A and B are shown apart, each in its own frame.
Chain A
Amino acid sequence: MQKQGKAIAMISGGLDSTLALALVRRQGIEVKAVNFYTGFCITETQRRKGGRADGSVPRNEALRAAADLEVDIEYVDISGSEYLDMLVHPKYGYGANANPCVDCRVFMMRKAKAIMEAEGADFIFTGEVLGQRPKSQRRDTLRIIERDSGLDGRLLRPLSAKLLPPTIPEQTGIVDRELLEAISGRSRQRQMELAKELGVVDWPQPAGGCCYLTDESFAKKFFDVLDTREAAGEERRIVPEDVVLLSTGRHFRISPRAKLIVGRSEVENALLEHHVPGRARLEAKDVLGPIALVEGEPTWEERMLAARIVARYGKGKDAPKVAVEWREGELVETYEVEPERDEARVEALRI
């Protein structure tokens, strides 16, 4: 095959981006894949916590796709403050949860554009499909993403290309538009046929739903952090440590002044131990139980409530009293509390 140009592929490793990769590769175009690390990938977090509930460890699908198609891949860490600030102040707003998909795509495309220029590549392509997602893959938003990222004419969506205006690489003949697709909507029928045609046999199931920001319960915790900071007269912001804690443990809003985080597994307990500075650390003393952290400045009653909830999630939950140790800097105290038995109350405090 004759090499015709160079492209940067933004891949997640899902079926769509794998197919886009295969479509462009079969035209003899040199491809470099990039995968962005945002810190919000559910699969990545599952891997970090030792795998899924059934004991299996998810693969890194972007790596798998690049390996299958023998395409060079680069990871780009965008999880820093610039990305977090975008999440808090999205120009195009949120989807159903804490997902500012349009702004996130623009953010990634800008980074990809810098890589395209550094690599001397001709264009960028993605696995986006027209009409597949309600917010970020509508015709108007696909156009916004292209315009705001400064990629005018250099952003190709191979799976929907025939339904979109021709891009520069199509106009100049680097890419043969006839060999691209006209897929739209949520049905995956054409993708399944195309996978057979292109010899793509391996992709993750189910597709999509990999981002914590699209998760309803995560979104509640995300906005709780922002709202609580704002109510306390602080800036609405998210810091990297918040991201780790938001995907760890059960969260309880004890009061506007205090939040409780209770580990759900040994791995989560170990993770919480790394975030003790600046917080109170709670643990039942004589029975097995979770590690918990309290953020903020709870009143005496709120401390007792937090201790009762911690006792409720340990082996002493049916005991009349449980000793819960409260460590906060130099302060170490033990509270003898009755495990909280009012399930409705516990649930009402859940964020």
Chain B
Amino acid sequence: MPAPARTLDTSGRLCPFPIVETAKAVRSLDEGAVLLVISTDAGIATDMPMWCKATRNEHLGTFREGSAWKSFVRKRAR
């Protein structure tokens, strides 16, 4: 995975807040930059690909690591 420009740790937050916080974080990123979202809510695995498709950002992948999930998102170029 590409090196993230920013890492957002949403551990302990329940859905839909990891996505709410992702949306805010992506807004402040440069186009093409990568955001790494860490979540302890399993919902991220289904929510993140759908959110990326809806908002036309690129979902690079979501992986489980122990009790958390790591999700990589590239901000779309407008």
Residues of A at the B interface (CB closer than 8 Å) are 33, 35, 37, 44, 47-48, 50, 57, 59-60, 63-64, 66-67, 70-75, 77
Chain B residues within an 8 Å CB radius of A64: 50
* Chain A minimum-CB-distance residue to B48: A63
CA distance A77 to B24 in the complex (A): 13
Please determine whether A77 and B20 come into contact, CB atoms closer than 8 angstroms: yes
Contact A72 to B55, CB < 8 A, known contacts A48-B14, A60-B50: yes
By a CB distance below 8 angstroms, the chain A residues around B42 are 50, 57
Q: Is A73 a contact partner of B46 (Cβ separation < 8 A)?
A: no
Which of A57, A67, A77 is B51 in contact with, Cβ under 8 Å?
A67
| B77 proximal to A (CB < 8 A) | no
Q: How far is the CB of B61 from chain A (nearest CB, A)?
A: 17
Docked pose: A50 CA to B43 CA in angstroms? 9
Interface residues of B in 21-56 (CB under 8 A from A): 23, 41-43, 46-47, 49-51, 53-56
Smallest distance from the beta carbon of B10 to chain A beta carbons, Å? 13
B47 touches A60 (CB 8 A): yes
On chain A, the residues within 8 Å of B15 by CB distance are 44, 47-48, 60
Chain B interface residue count, Cβ-Cβ cutoff 8 angstroms: 19
- A57-B43, A72-B56 are known contacts; what are 4 more A-B pairs with Cβ within 8 Å? A48-B15, A63-B47, A75-B19, A75-B20
Chain A residues contacting B4 (CB-CB under 8 Å) are none
Q: List, in ascending order, chain A residues with CB within 8 A of B56's CB.
A: 70, 72
A contact residues around B20 at 8 Å (CB): 37, 75, 77
CB distance from A28 to the nearest CB of B (A): 17
Bound-state CA distance A35–B53 (Å) is 16
Residue of B nearest to A74 (CB): B23
Cβ A63 vs Cβ B14 within 8 A: no
B2 within 8 A of partner (CB) = no
B56 (CB) vs chain A CBs: closest residue: A70
Contact A63 B23 (CB under 8 A): no
Q: Which residue of A lies closest to B55 (CB)?
A: A72
Which of A33, A37, A50, A60 has the most chain B CB atoms inside 10 A of its CB? A60
| Chain A residue with Cβ nearest B46 | A59
In this complex, what residue of A is CB-closest to B45? A57
B residues in contact with A37, CB < 8 Å: 16, 20
Residues of B within 8 A of A75 (CB): 16, 19-20, 23
State the Cβ distance, B44 to closest chain A Cβ, in Å.
10
- Minimum CB–CB distance for B5 against chain A, Å: 21
User: Which B residue's beta carbon lies closest to that of A77?
Assistant: B20
With A48-B14, A74-B23, A77-B20 already in contact, the answer to whether A60 and B43 are too (CB < 8 A) is yes
Max chain B C-beta neighbours (<10 A), residue from A35, A63, A64: A63
Residues of B within 8 A of A74 (CB): 23
Distance of A37 Cα from B20 Cα, bound (Å) = 10
Please determine whether A66 and B23 come into contact, CB atoms closer than 8 angstroms.
no
Can you sample 8 A-B contacts with CB below 8 Å? A44-B16, A57-B46, A60-B16, A60-B46, A63-B47, A73-B55, A74-B23, A77-B17
> Hey, which chain A residues are within 8 Å of B16, CB to CB?
35, 37, 44, 60, 63, 75
- Tell me the minimal C-beta distance from B42 to chain A in angstroms: 7
B54 touches A72 (CB 8 A): yes
A70 with B53: in contact, given A44-B16, A77-B20 (CB under 8 Å)? Answer: yes
Taking the nearest CB of chain A, how far is it from the CB of B23, in angstroms?
7
Q: What residues of chain B lie closer than 8 Å to A60, measured between beta carbons?
A: 15-16, 19, 43, 46-47, 50
Closest to B53 in A: A67
Give min CB distance, B45 to chain A, whole Å. Answer: 9
- Given A57-B42, A57-B46, A73–B14 Cβ distance below 8 Å? no
